[in-house]
Amino acid sequence: MTAAPPPGAASATAAQGAPAKGRIVEGHEVNANRDLTCDVCIVGSGAGGAVLAAGLVGRGLNVVLLEAGGAHTKADFDLQEGRAYPMLYQDRGTRGTADQSISVLQGRSVGGSTTVNWTTCFRTPPRILKHWADHHGVDGLTADALRPHFESVERRLSIAPWPLERANPNNRKLLEGAKKLGWDVHNTRRNVKGCANSGYCGVGCPVDGKQAMHVTYLPDAVAGGLTLFADCRATRLEHRGGRVSAVHADVLDRATGRATGKTVRVRAKVTVASGGALNTPALLLRSGIEGKGLVGKRTFLHPVVTLVALYKEAVKGFYGAPQSVYSHQFAEPAPGGVGFFLEAAPVQPMLMAQAAAAHGTMLRDTMAQLPHISAVLGLIIDGLLPDETGGTVTLRSDGRLRLDYTFHPAVNDAMAAAHDAIARLHLAAGAERVLSLHAEPVEVRDEAGLRALAAKPYGGLKHPIFTAHQMGGCVMGGDPARSVVDAKHQVRGFDNLYVVDGSVLPTSLGVNPSETIYGLAHRARDFVAEAAS
């Protein structure tokens, strides 16, 4: 049996309304075990998997894509956080490191994290590409080599600067504070078309303004013949002698997340893991593919810290594009140091309450100020120091993934420096006071407050830390002893297994990762297509 859709399968329409040659098959439609053969099987429909799928289908290949999350459209996005996080995020929105020192926001639906991301787009900084070449032996990834890929992706996703006039007041605080302090500050580029400036990117765009994968590359691919199984979780890769012979997957009941008992088996000439950082390493580990002990290692997170800044006037950070301004003032520290960059965050009640990590009067009094809160984030650029190990993905005895993160002392220093910078920035922007989120918070109104802030401890479980950018775990490199995939995304020791997603990044990026992953996936189309033909 080939990848032809079963009778009655939901039909997806192409972006431009042309009848689709392919299908999205939802879990509830799979009433019998399926056994498919195709040219390429891709696991994961996010930034990496979607761009790749469209390119392969465009080259005439027969592609099957398996996605653990559900297929959702704007009609499902009612902008209620209580519904969206369990529906659209990994582990129903409760993912974290094993010790809960870092809360992990990561998407899980058709479109992956792009369905819920905040639309900020950057090309990979040349200094990072140079670092990969110099320290990880990554060949061929230069700004020039990547340019055509970025240009193509930027056209398809309408990536363009977001006018400062449309920045919401929360982002304006970042702009004003940085300007007053003489810091580097700019407007971001965003992947949007017809954006309503609602502010609800993180819970699924209500008007398809965000050019996420489920409204762009995936409909393109389905139009060209892609069969996409939603609610279908790859459990393991069957392999022998360096060849993957089959991908085994469980069909899931969307409501409960439990396996329905039905399975999908895909035998493809080439298999591509695009489950994203954390999940791709976990899939490989479940399949007994350990890459000489390197799979799961070097997982970097851009650990995020923030403070609560209170302004007299209403900021209403819950409305308006979540991120439209950034500062790279502190991105390139002195040798031996770790840098960070500054961006804003949506200030919606559930996310804010979780970020506050408090209880009782402290939580109540913070939340009571919600419309007056501005939230600027410090994102720590981890993974660039030679002795940084970052996070490690392993498996628990019941197969669940486990993430542990080691805080390098320089990362802790960077978190302290980010606290200082964020507090200074808000004071410069006119905040009445800035509160740290330590268990015993520091209230900063002036230099004395900044000194008290500096005296606080920094690190895991000392204050809340988040990540929305998971990178690494199957890192790319030139040295077989230090990398899981080569510069063409091929898993070392395998003829027909590739990884195309954020897990190949050898370090964090110092910028938001989606465009890097789109660009790498666009470049990887040729490598995978060649292997499949």
Give the burial class of 405: count Cβ atoms within 10 A of its Cβ; 0-12 exposed, 13-18 middle, 19 or more buried.
buried
The single residue listed with the structure tokens 């498919």 is: 36
12 is a contact residue toward another protein (CB under 8 A): no
Element (H, E) at 235: strand 232-240
Work out what residue 468 binds among ligand FAD, another protein, none; the CB cut-off runs from 5 to 8 Å by kind.
ligand FAD
Nearest-CB residue for ligand FAD: 46
78 is a contact residue toward another protein (CB under 8 A): yes
Among 6, 10, 21, 96, binds another protein (CB under 8 A): 96
Decide: 460 and 119 in contact? Cβ < 8 Å: no
Question: Applying CB under 6 A, which part among 19-27, 165-173, 238-246, 275-283 lies near ligand FAD?
Answer: 275-283
Judged by beta carbon, residue 109 or residue 496, the one nearer ligand FAD is 109
Collect contacts of 72-77 with beta carbons under 8 A, ≥24 apart. Answer: 72/109, 72/110, 72/115, 72/204, 72/214, 73/214, 74/204, 74/205, 74/206, 74/207, 74/208, 76/204, 77/200, 77/203, 77/204, 77/205, 77/206
Distance CA 118, CA 116 (A): 7
User: Contacts with another protein: how many residues (CB under 8 A)?
Assistant: 54
Shortest distance (Å) from residue 366 CB to another protein:
9
91 is a contact residue toward another protein (CB under 8 A): yes
Amino acid at 176: E
Judged by beta carbon, residue 97 or residue 120, the one nearer ligand FAD is 120
387 is a contact residue toward another protein (CB under 8 A): no
Q: 409-429 and 169-181 helices cross at what angle (nearest 10)? A: 100
Range list of H helices, 357-446:
360-367, 409-429
Distance, first Cα to last Cα, the chain: 19
Decide: 421 and 178 in contact? Cβ < 8 Å: no
Among 155, 240, 312, 359, binds another protein (CB under 8 A): 359
Shortest distance (Å) from residue 249 CB to ligand FAD:
6
Q: 126-136 and 143-156 helices cross at what angle (nearest 10)? A: 130
Work out what residue 96 binds among another protein, ligand FAD, none; the CB cut-off runs from 5 to 8 Å by kind.
another protein
Q: Output the CA–CA distances (angstroms, integers) from residue 239 to 40, 277, 496, in the order listed.
A: 15, 21, 10
Distance CA 91, CA 106 (A): 9
Distance CA 377, CA 306 (A): 5
112 is a contact residue toward ligand FAD (CB under 6 A): yes
473 is a contact residue toward ligand FAD (CB under 6 A): no
**x/- string (CB under 8 A) for another protein, residues 115-154?**
----------------------------------------
Judged by beta carbon, residue 110 or residue 338, the one nearer ligand FAD is 110
The single residue listed with the structure tokens 């402290």 is: 362
Shortest distance (Å) from residue 433 CB to ligand FAD:
28
Shortest distance (Å) from residue 360 CB to ligand FAD:
28
Question: Applying CB under 6 A, which part among 94-102, 112-120, 153-161, 450-458 lies near ligand FAD?
Answer: 112-120
259 is a contact residue toward another protein (CB under 8 A): no
Q: Name residue 485's beta-bridge partners.
A: 476, 491
Among 237, 501, 510, 531, binds ligand FAD (CB under 6 A): 501
* SS3 of residue 32 by DSSP: coil
User: Contacts with ligand FAD: how many residues (CB under 6 A)?
Assistant: 44
Give the residues lining the site for another protein (CB under 8 A). Answer: 74-75, 78-82, 85-86, 91-94, 96, 99-101, 103, 196, 198, 200, 206-208, 255-257, 318-319, 348-350, 352-354, 356-361, 363-364, 367-371, 396, 398, 400, 439-440, 461
Give the residues lining the site for ligand FAD (CB under 6 A). Answer: 43-49, 66-69, 105-109, 112-114, 116-121, 202, 233-234, 274-277, 279, 283, 323, 468-469, 501-502, 512-515, 517
